[in-house]
A and B are shown apart, each in its own frame.
Chain A
Amino acid sequence: MKRFLLILCLISAEVVWAGPKLLYEEDPTLLTTTIEIVVQSGSSEDPMDKTGIATTIAELLLRGTQTKDRATFQSTLERMGGAISGSASHDTIEFSGEVIKENTDAFLDLITEFLTKPSFSEKEFKSLMQENLAAIQHIKNVNTRLGGLALRREVFAGTPLERPTQGTLKTLKAIQLKDLKDRYKNSFHKGNFLFAVASPLKKSQIEKKLEAIWNVLPDGKASVSPEIALKIPSEPTLIVVNKPHTSSGSVLMGQAGIVAKEPDRYDLYLGNFSFGGEPLVSRLFNVVRGALGWTYAIGSTYQAMGSLSKQKGLFMVYTTPSIEFTTKSLFKILNMWDSYLQGGLKKDEIDLAQDSLVNSYPFGFDSANKRLGWKVMSELYDVPVLSPSEYESKIRAIGNGELVKRLKKHHTARGWIISVVADAKVIQKQLDEEQKNIPADKRFKIAKILKPEQIIE
């Protein structure tokens, strides 16, 4: 009899709770409630000729519901001391919101409304498109963005990651309102949703509200995005985005990066800490800025495309040297990379990186929102959240031999795609000067010169 009751309880427990997946951080000291809603369907699912659908949906959903036009919706939200923004990554559409704690209930009601009863207003769609096209045109003013997009075009050529999540002039113009409605219908279902909340309120209070969303979402299975391969050349490939008369150069160098759940990430992060990842103490900083004084900003990162995700991102070195030191910096970085790849780190560098990473680990968990961020990362990308002692064990176990093995497994000495945003004539002259003792056929050359307009078209 007892056994029967136990089985019944288990069955009823499963039947009763059919609510949304909710990651929760309760913190009574918080004065606001923050919410992150993740729909696991990002821009990598956009058709190649219509990149930007996921981003446009994220923005359009906040521009009116079936019962509230945009002005009414937004003024209601903002008057209660709330704010919500929508964005898309390659893997997800995300809505991030925050409200002063006393208005949490009303805030969640508004979220329910825009997620389940969007208006898809033709007028708002046109207005949003106009706004986004203007924003893309404006990228020509920002050299670091131009360089990033030039790099992306080359590394991900022919794949859905070739273009930025917000699309390009051409792909945005191709998007119709029907495309957004179809995507909404296909992607906004139970299998794709994840809710994450940090609040001073009880979890049960939030769950009750979120059930209203859950109950009207259709069933569905989680989207599975295929992993997209990068096209990395065997020799350095230099693309110059021609911007005459710059007084500095914007240099970005990309190699294949890693996916979020890559087990070697601890070794690679530790190595990168000393190569270029940690401001003020890395090799790149100490040599190119500290000893040579060629640049103000320099570093390297595995998070060149935002947080690590399901897709293999880029490992990137970035710097903005004074124009006269642009190619000098480039050659110096290539040499330093080669030395790092072949020999790894010195013992004192490894010691420093280990101490720093272990000692700074608590900062990743010092607020409810940061703790929540880890939970979301873990849920979406299968990344284990290590306790401080587990993390320390991992980090302390890393030695130089293992590091070099991992570096060689994931990277190459010369497989770089490099974008430089600067005056192409100046760069050519510098290349000639720097390589005057090298036979012409063996020189490092500019593979492509692009105009800023070509990057955003």
Chain B
Amino acid sequence: MKLFGSLLSLLICLFSLNCQSASYQKVAEHTLFNGDKLTEFRLENGLQVLHVPRHQAKVLTYQVWFRVGSLDEKLDAKLKKTGLAHLFEHMMFRGTAKYPDGVFDKLISRMGGTGQNASTYFYRTNYYESVPSDQLEALMTLESDRMQNLQITPALFEREKGAVVGELRRHLDSPVSVGFDQLLDGVFKVAPFRFTVLGSEKEIKGFTLEEANYFYKTYYAPNNATLIVIGDVDAGKLMSLVTKYYGEMKSQEVPRHKVPEEPPQTKERKIYTRHKQATSDSLLVGYRIPTVSSPDFTSLALLATHLSTGMEGRLRKLLVDPGIAVSANGAPSSRPDLFEFVVSLSEKHRAEQALAIIDQEVARLQKKQISEKDFQRALNQEKLDMYGNIGSNSSLANMLGEYLVLSGDYLLGFKMLSAFEKLTPVDLQKAAKQHLNKKQRTIVVIRPAKRGGKKS
């Protein structure tokens, strides 16, 4: 390890049941590179807790992550639906017997809560807010209550479907959003990433109360969740409250669906489509890549920074500066595992022109290593991003949670930063050669409605 060897020291240790209460374990402690202490706890019922104390301000961020998303609804033999995980996330704000519809939101607002929201993706659902630290117990009362006592009434369920349809309609009016849906549909023929998180209007309107209740009872279990608290609270106080409010919940068997493996792609796929709201072309290209835990993913991530970050990012120089596109980015995503290029073309230019330029650039990356200067630029831009974000309670919680549910390792974001330091331009060239090849890519071109299109 060069620079980051000293920055990231991992002091993983396993403690026995000698903490304040026998109902939880301290699983590990870590010192992050900025000096923060991160501790992992686990309750007997399986609830995982990640905690970083920070006392600079009397506030804290509180996030609950569930290892359930839209993949599960499709793979669950009792459901086989699309859009339920997301609709259900909305219902989590609709009340319990103790705190009926609207009361939960008012109480959090009254305590000074900010940033209260939730999101659903293929592999996870998360709920989050930040509150003044003296409101922790009040917040935990509410959060733990909705995790076990949600009451979904038929009337509220039907009303919420309207809001979700509104969300879907907005999505459908955006050409690039629809382009993403089409890209995933084009890439995945077996894995359920081809089904959208939002679902279709017909499916949303057709969900039953029984399905929603089944989903809740099956997947919202303590052993399927992680609580992340970052801010002005000490571990002792936090765990005493967690034990009080979450400790009585019962662990249960949560179905673990094996996501069907997508066969390797051996031939380029192209989808041409039209969108009534589009006034210029959009181009999306997705290359199949390995998972986030793979060493090659790290190389691809740094390669993406070289391509997409800053005024000197290659795609900006090649596509935006000459006026061919108004925006151009390339980045790896995980679950679905793709390296995606997304280009919004200027009106006078066609997607094919952008594709030809991307192809030339990829060929250049495969043939020749990037310069040491460019490599250093990408590396330091990664550091800037991480250094700028780690100070924010919510940004740090987001990073820990996302990597945890993606890979099982909440420290993966820090490890990746450390791994970047060990890479060389040769690694980036190798990754480009191995993973950015035409046979394993899918291209989506969205054109304005007038121009016409074809499907191949």
Contacts and interface: CB of A to CB of B under 8 A. Distances in A.
Contact of B114 (A30, A32, A286, A360): A360
A111 to B, nearest CB: 15
Given A32-B388, A127-B321, A362 B163 contact: no
Interface stretch (B13-21, B146-154, B251-259, B276-284): B276-284
B373 interface: yes
B326 interface: yes
Contacts of B167: 296
Nearest to B105: A280
A75 interface: yes
B400 to A, nearest CB: 17
Contact of A138 (B35, B101, B344): B344
Contacts of A131: 320-321, 323, 326
Interface string B308-340: 011110000000111101100000000000000
A245 B276 contact: yes
B59 A141 contact: no
A232 interface: no
B113 interface: yes
B151 to A, nearest CB: 16
Nearest to B388: A32
17 contacts: A31-B34, A31-B391, A74-B312, A81-B384, A131-B321, A138-B280, A245-B449, A247-B169, A279-B117, A280-B116, A281-B102, A296-B166, A356-B110, A359-B110, A359-B132, A367-B57, A367-B391
A248 B172 CA distance: 9
Given A100-B383, A246-B277, A322-B162, A360 B113 contact: yes
Interface in A265-281: 278-281
A438 interface: no
A281 B166 contact: no
Interface string A249-293: 000000000000000000000000000001111000010011111
A99 interface: yes
B137 interface: no
Nearest to A361: B112
Given A31-B391, A134-B323, A141-B344, 15 more contacts: A30-B391, A71-B312, A78-B380, A131-B323, A138-B346, A140-B279, A141-B279, A279-B117, A289-B163, A293-B158, A293-B163, A321-B166, A322-B166, A362-B57, A367-B391
Contacts of B296: none
B196 interface: no
Contacts of B110: 352, 355-356, 359
Size bracket, chain A contacts: 35 or more
A233 B109 CA distance: 35
Interface string A428-439: 000000000000
Contacts of B311: 62, 70, 74, 78
Nearest to A320: B170
Contacts of A359: 110-112, 132, 135
A339 interface: no
A127 B319 CA distance: 12
Interface in B93-108: 93, 101-102, 105-106
A297 interface: yes
Contacts of B78: none
- Across chains A and B, which 4 residue pairs bring their CB atoms closest together, nearest first? A293-B162, A359-B112, A81-B380, A296-B166
A134 B57 contact: no
B6 interface: no
B109 A280 contact: yes
A287 B152 CA distance: 19
B23 to A, nearest CB: 31
Contacts of A127: 321-323
B159 A293 contact: yes
Nearest to A99: B384
Contacts of A12: none
A425 to B, nearest CB: 14
B214 interface: no
Interface in A123-158: 127, 130-131, 133-135, 137-138, 140-141, 143
Interface string A44-62: 0000000000000000001
A248 B166 contact: yes
B265 interface: no
B276 A452 contact: no
Contacts of B158: 293
A323 interface: yes
A359 B321 CA distance: 47
Contacts of A246: 173, 276-277
User: Which of B161, B172, B388 has the most C-beta atoms of chain A within 10 angstroms of its own C-beta?
Assistant: B388
Contacts of B109: 278, 280-281, 352, 356
A413 interface: no
Interface in A99-135: 99-101, 127, 130-131, 133-135
Interface in B114-160: 114, 116-117, 130, 132, 135, 158-160
Contact of A322 (B102, B169, B387): B169
A78 B377 contact: yes
A246 B280 CA distance: 16
Interface string B322-365: 11011000000000000000001011000000000000000000
Contacts of A323: 169
Given A131-B320, A134-B346, A280-B109, A31 B390 contact: yes
A131 B346 CA distance: 9
A138 B162 CA distance: 30
Contacts of A343: none
A376 B321 CA distance: 33
Contacts of B312: 71, 74-75, 78
A384 interface: no
B58 interface: yes
A366 interface: yes
B59 A366 contact: yes
B426 to A, nearest CB: 19
Contacts of B208: none
Contacts of B166: 248, 289, 293-297, 320-322
A343 to B, nearest CB: 20
